Amino acid sequence: MAVKIGRWDCPSCGQRGVLGPETRCPNCGASRPRDVRFYLPSDAEELRDEASIRAARAGADWICGHCHGQNKASQDTCQSCGNPRDEESEDVALQERRYSQQEIPVSPETRKRTLHPEEIERNKPRKKRSFFLPILLLIAAVVGGGAIPRTVEVQVDGFRWERSIQMLHKEAVAHEDWSTPAGAFEVSSFQDIHHYNKVFRGYETRTRTERVQTGSRRVACGTIDKGNGYFETQYCNEPVYESRQVEYQEEIYDQVPVYATKYRYKLWEWVARKDYLLTSSGQDHEPQWPDPSRYNGMADVKEGERAARYRVILTRPNGEQMEEELPETSWSSLSESSVLSGKAAWLWGWWYGLE
**pTM for this predicted structure:** 0.49
Predicted local distance difference test score (pLDDT) of residue 110: 44
CB 21, CB 225: distance < 8 Å: no
Predicted local distance difference test score (pLDDT) of residue 116: 43
CA gap 211, 255 in Å, rounded: 34
Other Cβ atoms less than 10 A from the Cβ of 118: the count is 8
Conformation bin of residue 117: beta by default, left when phi > 0, alpha when psi is -120 to 50? alpha
CA gap 228, 232 in Å, rounded: 11
Residue 332's φ and ψ, nearest 5 degrees, are -70, -30
Q: Name which of 228, 236, 222, 19 is nearest 105 in CA terms.
A: 222
Q: What angle do CA 55, 99, 38 make, to 5 degrees?
A: 55
Residue 330's φ and ψ, nearest 5 degrees, are -70, -40
CB 160, CB 273: distance < 8 Å: no
Residue 294's φ and ψ, nearest 5 degrees, are -60, -20
- Per-10-residue mean pLDDT of the chain, 355 residues long, equals 90 93 92 90 90 90 88 89 84 89 78 45 59 68 69 93 97 97 97 97 96 92 92 92 94 97 98 96 96 93 96 91 93 92 80 85
